[in-house]
Amino acid sequence: MQHVKIPQDRIGVLIGEGGETLRQIEEQAEVRLNVYSENGSVSVDSVGDPLLALRGPDIVKGIGRGFTPDEALRLLETDLMMLDIIDIEAHARNTNDLQRLKGRLIGEGGRTRELLEELTGASVVIYGSTLSSIGGPEQIETVRRAVEMLLDGAPHGAVYSYLEDRKREREQSGLGYHPYQR
């Protein structure tokens, strides 16, 4: 059994209308979820394939970090899918700096976040003081590197060039987008 803590405002998303999302996660990940609404704690018990059930806590964390249930369930697509969470607050000196850094990651009108998704094929969400991504190892590595560049103050244009170069390298190597990519 594992315990995952999620923000209380995400519990409704985890449960879904009439418990529909909760049942879907339990069925697909072969787990039993017990949600404790008062403190945001969720216990995840394996009830089937133990390897499949290992994804259960990450699915719950993904929903807790702002992904839709469908995006979080992408973690079940292949063994290579993973959830990566970057703590933006760890890079910030104070609250104002945190807001500035989040703004750099989101970009004007959400364009930077959209380009991170578009050029890597990963799902990317900024929620609270974290940036989370779901994708394959290469996708996650590329998103993480681009985010670190932005947090370190690199110009957006340089980061976009990096993302475009990485996409071009994947395409030229014949890898293109893998089945676990959007």
Residues 4-41, buried b or exposed e (16+ Cβ, 10 A)?
Answer: bebeeebbebbbeeeeebbeebbeebbbbbebeeeebe
* Helices 137-151 + 111-120 axis angle, to 10: 150
HSE, CB side, 13 Å, CA atoms: give it for residue 31.
28
Compute CA 131 distance to the chain's CA centroid, rounded to the nearest angstrom. 7
Q: Report yes or no on whether pTM surpasses 0.95.
A: no
Contact at 8 Å (CB) between 163 and 146? yes
Task: Indicate the residue type of 67.
Answer: F
Q: Which pLDDT band, with edges at 50, 70 and 90, does 47 fall under? A: very high
Quick one: pLDDT at residue 118?
Answer: 96
Quick one: pLDDT at residue 179?
Answer: 42
What average pLDDT does the segment 18-34 reach?
A: 97
Domains of the chain: 2-65 (3.30.1370.10), 82-172 (3.30.1370.10)
Cα–Cα distance for residue pair 177/160, rounded to 1 Å: 18
Q: Is the pLDDT of residue 39 over 90?
A: yes
* Share of residues in the chain with pLDDT > 90 (%): 88
Tokens 């475009």 — which residue? 164
Quick one: pLDDT at residue 87?
Answer: 97
Which residues have C-beta within 8 Å of that of residue 182, sequence separation ≥ 6? 117, 121, 122, 123
The dihedral through the CA atoms of 150, 154, 157, 163 has a sign that is negative
User: Mean pLDDT over all residues of the chain?
Assistant: 93
Task: Indicate the residue type of 51.
Answer: L
